[in-house]
Structure 1
Amino acid sequence: MTRTTQSQIIVIGAGIIGVTTALVLQTQGHQVRLLDRKGVAAETSAGNAGAFAFAEIEPLATPGIMKKAPKWLLDPLGPLSVRPGHALRILPWMWHFWRATAHHRYDAAVASQASLMALSRQALERVIRTTDAQALIRREGQLQLYEGAAQFQASLPAWEQRRRHGIAFELLDNPDAIARIQPGLNPRFTHAGFTPDWLNTVDPLRWTRHLAHALTERGGQIVTAAVTGLAPRPDGVDVTTDIGTLRADQVVVAAGAWSHRIARMLGDRIPLETERGYNTTFPTASFDLRTHLTFGAHGFVVTRIGDGLRVGGAVELGGLNLPPNFKRAETLLRKTARFLPGFDPTGGTQWMGFRPSLPDSLPIIARAPKSDRVIYAFGHGHLGLTQSAGTAELVAELVSGRSPQIPLLPFRATRFGG
């Protein structure tokens, strides 16, 4: 669809995807209003692990994972679980998830994820430069840790996938090599993979607010308003909110885990589920953490946030309405105390966030099926921060009618059928 070079754009959602998209659009000459019912980074973008995880190209829907599904229901504190009160509701999502585990779909998803990651890495560096944000970035790499040779051997196909897609890493097969990067770990971790190009922000809340400030400095507006309706018209889109009706030439839906509710206003039914993630943040660091640590078999990470530490992760498919189960966060702390000798698990602040997850682990970055004036940019799962800058550039290309930098067919909204 051909567009003029400048448009009035409304972006719905002031999480990291919406804020970065609004900033890129405003920088490219569009006039942008960013709407959110609570404000900037008031939901999941405030509490994530702060990682730009460009090496994480493998989807959750891997071949053979459905054999583990019965355990998800039986272990409510495991690294991947389904809340019993939510299990029946997600059957349609699980059906699409099962289809995504087919080898040809899995391979296609890895390739598409890798292309978005490569773009997002380049786009992030552009955002860092244009907003003078180097002080908010840590370039300390990441260690993926394994307990024993068998666990390490099982990970090698995933590392080979990364190699094929140009991701730099070093495999370590003894505790001494690991200790040169991160001393002080429990010796049970005998093997690791180190990704030196992994980046973190010093604090995801500070990062998102920094970009929001850059948006307003460039003339963009941030409005606190809840969206209650969308009405596409031949010459624009009416956005109904609790403060009145706003008009835009185009609208971008980037409302994270709530995006499918807005899509439904247009008649689009998107199988978006919620990966509920838990973490605990400590204001000071009781362990000398030198790189981002990933305990893959246990489904959590330990990372530096400001002057402190954040322990978080796990995947709980539980929707938006069930109360949190903070026993999951407590389980992660008990493990961390065993894995990091000297770590003090007291004095932290617990948190839960809603990650917007699609069955094949790929986001939707596409025009809405029911209106070419509405663009969807949601469903990034636990990779929203990672893919925010790349998604923003792709949305800007859609808004302006330019050819996208990567093929967008894998990210279409219609890939799950009606």
Structure 2
Amino acid sequence: MPGNSNSPGQGLRSATGTSSPRERGEEEDIAIIGGGIVGICAAALLSEVGRSVTVFDRTGICEETSSGNAAAFAFSDVLPLAHKGMIRQLPKWLADPLGPLAIPPAYLPKLLPWLIRFWRAGAAKHYEASLAAQVGMMKLAEAEWMDLLDRSGTRPMLREDGSLEFYESEAEFRASLSGWAERERFGIGFRHVEGEEMAALQPGLAPRFVKGTFVPSWKTVADPKLLGKAVWAYAEKLGARFEHARVERVEAGANGATIVLADGTRRTAKKLLIAAGAWSHLLAKDLGDRIPLETERGYNTTLPVSAFDVKRQLIFSGHGFVITPLETGIRVGGAVELGGIERPPNFARSKAMLEKAKRFLPGLDPSGGREWMGFRPSLPDSLPVIGAARAPNVYYAFGHGHLGLTQSVATGRLIRDLVLGQTPPLDLTPFRAQRF
């Protein structure tokens, strides 16, 4: 029997000596499309309450976008992206093809409807509702992550060093104050620093930065790919299974859902969760849900650990990137390229960030780096899609933008409660797929 929602460890089944539904010619209990961090966290929480789960992915567990993110648990990042003044920044940023935001000219006509929705979502009348939805999601995310780290034995991968955000002028600093005031409303702690205090928090910083903001509660992980694989190992011990397969389309009916694989094979399941990141809206379209998802292509370079003694995550918001110390290296990355999922990578963007990092940390050794590009699935109102599809027996969990790692376990909790027929701890109205 499934466990109580307050006792996720109840009802656990052993996978020892059992065969998979595929081997027995039966339908799956729950199928999840997507082996990224959102999909595997949902798999872990469903497995904890005794549900049989199979994850389908074309590459592997945390091998794509979830492998190369900035490794932050950004629980204090509650301001919706649509309200961060990005529209005002657009002209300046777009003038620099290698700056914080780029749109390939050939892609602009396709992107325009999304940009219009993004602009409308930033209207003042939507602000309080969007902020409340993000705050609620972040509170749930922090509680659920801390619990899962303990249950899965992965808490040693957590780093609680805080973050340090920098400003190059008094004007830039003053422009940030309204955002910090909003965080203060919700009990998020921080302090503004300068001079010797800022230098002590990160030695070796270039003198061009006049002030900073230190957030002591900010958390990162040792390596996002390694954490994801460790969470999956925990889910696997509870009976979750993985199938390496490319999904071509999905179908749904009153008695369950069908996944059609690239080789023509069909898999049936009582319940289906679509958590395929930037490709999710293509599958949702099969089910009659048209969701305006766009892809923020993010770039980074991961340098050897010896490249620089980075004390904590460093945030250069005016330049749209961060530097994160990982167990496996120093990651320099961020920025946004709104260019869809088909265009080839433009690694000149990662090189541009690395050049800036060398100026900001003059002792940084830029040699021996590994470049990467990933696809962040983003919706115009900055909120993910979490909840039931229009079709029966199908659920959605995608569109988290920059916050997939941060909000993954909260999303898994919400999906678990829906599958079990229990009342979720958050009002899911702001996250409904049908809101568009």
Q: Is the 1:285–1:307 contact (alpha carbons within 8 Å) kept by the matching residues of 2?
A: no
Partner residue in 2 for 1:45: 66
Shift of the alpha carbon at 1:126? 0.8
Q: Does 1:239 align with 2:272?
A: no
Partner residue in 2 for 1:131: 152
Q: Give the one of 325, 331, 338 matched to 1:317.
A: 338
> How far apart are the structure 1 equivalents of 2:35 and 2:125?
35
Partner residue in 1 for 2:172: 151
Q: What pairs with 1:65-80 in structure 2 (closer than 5 Å)?
A: 65-80=86-101
Q: What pairs with 1:249-260 in structure 2 (closer than 5 Å)?
A: 249-260=270-281
Q: Does 1:162 align with 2:183?
A: yes
Count of residue pairs brought into register by the alignment: 411
Percent identical: 46
Q: Is the 2:256–2:392 contact (alpha carbons within 8 Å) kept by the matching residues of 1?
A: no
> How far apart are the structure 1 equivalents of 2:259 and 2:317?
42
> How far apart are the structure 2 equivalents of 1:56 and 1:276?
20
Shift of the alpha carbon at 1:180? 2.4
Q: What code does the residue aligned with 1:236 have?
A: G
> How far apart are the structure 2 equivalents of 1:318 and 1:338?
28
Structure 2 unmatched ranges of 5 or more: 6-10, 12-27
Q: Give the one of 367, 389, 407 matched to 2:388.
A: 367
Q: Is the 2:253–2:392 contact (alpha carbons within 8 Å) kept by the matching residues of 1?
A: no
SS at match of 1:219: coil
Q: Give the one of 225, 230, 245 matched to 1:205.
A: 225
Q: Give the one of 192, 200, 203 matched to 1:171.
A: 192
SS at match of 2:63: coil
Partner residue in 2 for 1:343: 364
> How far apart are the structure 2 equivalents of 1:403 and 1:78?
44
State which drifts further: 176-185 or 197-206: 176-185
1:270-320, Cα deviation, whole Å (9 max, x unpaired): 100000000000122321111110000000000012242010000110100
Shift of the alpha carbon at 1:21? 0.7
State which drifts further: 303-312 or 13-22: 303-312
Q: Give the one of 225, 228, 243 matched to 2:245.
A: 225
Shift of the alpha carbon at 1:106? 2.7
Q: Give the one of 114, 128, 134 matched to 1:113.
A: 134
Partner residue in 2 for 1:280: 301
Structure 1 unmatched ranges of 5 or more: none
> How far apart are the structure 2 equivalents of 1:373 and 1:176?
58
Partner residue in 2 for 1:190: 210
Q: What code does the residue aligned with 1:222 have?
A: F
Shift of the alpha carbon at 1:82? 1.2
1:16-42, Cα deviation, whole Å (9 max, x unpaired): 000111111111221101111111112
> How far apart are the structure 1 equivalents of 2:362 and 2:217?
27
1:128-153, Cα deviation, whole Å (9 max, x unpaired): 01001122111111011111221111
Partner residue in 2 for 1:414: 434
Shift of the alpha carbon at 1:64? 5.0
SS at match of 1:118: helix
Q: Structure 2 length normalisation: TM-score?
A: 0.91
Shift of the alpha carbon at 1:209? 0.6
Shift of the alpha carbon at 1:229? 2.3
Runs of 4 or more consecutive aligned structure 1 residues displaced over 4 Å after TM superposition: 4-7
Q: What code does the residue aligned with 2:117 have?
A: H
> How far apart are the structure 1 equivalents of 2:165 and 2:421?
40
Partner residue in 1 for 2:375: 354
> How far apart are the structure 1 equivalents of 2:88 and 2:188?
29
